[in-house]
Structure 1
Amino acid sequence: MGVLTAYFRAPGTEAVRRVLERTEGGSPLGGRQPAFDGVESKGLDPSVVLGQLIAAIRQVPWDVHLVAETTVWPTGPAPGPESPGGEDDPWATGPWVTEIDAATRDALAEVREADIPAVAATWAQAEELYGAAAEDVQPVVEELVGLAGRAREAGDRLYCWACL
């Protein structure tokens, strides 16, 4: 079972929650008219895989704390360790949406077009990308860089929607 992810930009958490309530947690990029500008991906989680991209951009070793994120969906308190979870527990079943920190958005937005091939080549070496070639991941880098640039220009935040 893979994790579906979508990165999108929005003006704020309340706008994201309104869309998720209306779509019952469905992807904000789904349907004929997506609710937000974004990029669909598979398995591109913020902490590890996106973190590997940020490490490649900043030319630093990857660390789980490179990308800071705040959960915005589901709403309400997370269940405690004694909670049984189960199929009715949105914290266990998803979907989940996190707000990505502005420093990550800005790191992506600042990548120059001429640097994208080198960033993609470095990112492709990440173990989590299973030996992908630079030309395989370069379009994703281009899309994320473009999305982050549009988000920064508009004063929007970046979000990640994830679902099993």
Structure 2
Amino acid sequence: MGVLTDYFRAPDAAAVVRAMERDDRMLVGGRDPVFDGVEAKRVDPNVVLAQLVAAIRREPWRVDLVADAPVWPTTAPPGPEGLEDEDDPWVTGPWVTELDTATRDALAGVPDDLVPEAVARWARAEELGGVDPEFLLPLAEELIALARRARAAGEQLYCWICL
């Protein structure tokens, strides 16, 4: 089972919740995307995206490097016994998290001439399995461009996640 992840920008969490209430499927891509975003299959925010942020900042990855806050579902997460309820949105997804401003700004602030070097470091992350940096470069450039548009518009970055 693969994890689907999309990154997008939005003015605030309320706009994301309104969009999810209308249709909880993908918010980017397709013919009529709800938000400006990037499809980034299997690039979870806390490990794989955080590896890119660490590479940009030239620092080691750590578990709390990318801070995020849940936006969707809007209900309280269930206790351990509730995780067995197959109808609970916390079990089934999709989920949306808001990424911290520091992550947006790290991506947005990397100089263009340093992107290939950062991507080469990112490609060495164990979670990426030795992928060729040339394969990752277009995705990194898309994520960086998205972060730059978000910062210029005063918006936040969000991650939509689905199993």
The answer to whether TM tops 0.5 is yes
Distance 2:82 2:47 in 1: 27
Contact 2:93 2:161 in 1 (8 A): yes
Match of 1:98 in 2: 97
Query: Deviations 1:56-99 (Å, cap 9, x if unpaired)?
Result: 00101100100000000011110012225332111011100000
How many matched pairs?
163
> Cα offset for 1:30?
4.2
Q: Which has the higher helix share?
A: 2
TM-score norm. by structure 2 comes to 0.97
What are the ranges of 5 or more consecutive residues in structure 2 without an aligned counterpart? none
- Verify the 8 A CA contact 2:8 2:157 in the aligned structure 1: yes
Paired position in structure 2 for 1:138? 137
- Asked whether the 8 Å contact 2:29–2:39 carries over to 1, the reply is no
Kindly report structure 1 stretches of 4+ aligned residues shifted beyond 2 Å. 84-87
Give the drift of 1:41. Answer: 1.1
Match of 2:19 in 1: 19
TM-score, length-scaled by structure 1: 0.97
Alignment-mate amino acid for residue 4 of structure 1: L
What stretches of structure 1 of length at least 5 have no aligned partner? Answer: none
What percentage of aligned pairs have identical amino acids? 60
Q: Aligned partners of 1:103, 1:138: CA distance in 2, in Å?
A: 21
In structure 2, the partner of 1:52 is 51
Counterpart of 2:79? 80
**Mapped partners of 1:143, 1:78: distance in 2:** 32
Q: Match for 1:2: what amino acid? A: G
